[in-house]
Structure 1
Amino acid sequence: MTTSPPVRRMAVLPLGILLVAGLAQAALTLPPRLLGQKLYQSQMTVEGPIPAPVAFEKSTFCRSYQCVGTNAIGDVKTGSLSWMVLSVGADSVMALKKHYQGEFYPEITLQYENNVVLFADLVVSVDPEAPLSTARFNQIGNFSRLVLGAPVSGQKISACYVKLLTQVRCTVGTGVIKVVGSVTRKFTAELRTSDDGEGYTSVNYGIGFID
């Protein structure tokens, strides 16, 4: 869904300027995975320590791709953050401009509560592809490692993706992991197609906890 540039640009600002008390200064140590782990850490800048979504922006995933922030809702405690996923070397300024104009780019959105990631979503494409391209397949695989800290069966991903040609969702897998505080929770990973009601469709790969 296309949104006017001024509104989206205003949404980007909190990624770098949120100054919220309660995050202690600490070394930038990355969690083994995103799901169930803390997203924000305090990092030093010339203006002093500020909270930043270190678990994502300093990850191996964001060294393999360019992660360009597009939207922020909430604060460091509870909310959601989104990033476009670009190839290394791509013109991020031009991509942002085209993104605001409605052009499709893969995009990751993280939802978190009490600074703990509860759900991660990757917008893979506009419509299901047949066959799934190598670039898309690799991106889905890398996203799985980012969120879960381990790979997901490539055969399951490919087989599930094909099903989207005839159905709206398919479960890639389920499991259990420990959340911050040693609480164990169940999660599911699934591919699905969505329709925003205004003629825009997308293929999403979501990994999150089952309530």
Structure 2
Amino acid sequence: MPLPIPGFEFSHNDTALVVIDPQNDFLSSEGVAWGVVGQSITENKTVENIESLFRSAKEASLPVFISPHYYFPHDHKWRFEGSLERLMHDIKMFDRPGPLDLTSFEGSGADWLERYKPYIDDGESVIASPHKVFGPESNDLALQLRKRGIDKVLLAGMSANLCVESHLRELLEQGFEVAVAWDATAAAILPEFNGMAAAKTNYHMLASETLDTAEAVRRIASL
């Protein structure tokens, strides 16, 4: 018996694009994670697809929210960590000198991918406080969405089976209707596992609808 597809309808009144971790350490070929995510990003055309979603959302005046990932010096003093938390700390992924300090931020691994800056830094996009592990439980994304009257979310960004899937699960638990643009995400591909395959399976089982970017852009443009 095939799984039903509830579907996802875009609306100016209650729908937003949420992009997770659109940052250099994931999406730039110079980023510290490129060695494990670069293949998936290239295959999915993730960088280009995220930009297509940004562009179409802005052209349609659809609200855009960013959920970034930053680590400050005090985060490196955690007494216990999961495997990937330890790895990200070891390779200094998303590091910043402090929450109020932008020293050396421009062009760093924690900075936005350069091609996304016109969409993120336009004074209209809502930049949530940073999440610290994978999901938005530790940041103010849900609050910011609720305060704008948003209850339907299209997710994109990095990485597919970690932060994006964790945001999907938590937003569902918070009562949001959620769709995912699967090819505007990507994941680590290693000899022992393929994070993208795991993510796509769970997207289909959890989200109201799993779209490709072309279909998402078509629906946004029709608003």
Shorter chain as denominator, the TM-score bin is under 0.3
More strand by share: 1
TM-score (normalizing by structure 2): 0.24
More helix by share: 2
TM-score (normalizing by structure 1): 0.25
Structure number with the bigger relative contact order (C-alpha 8 A, sep ≥ 6) is 2
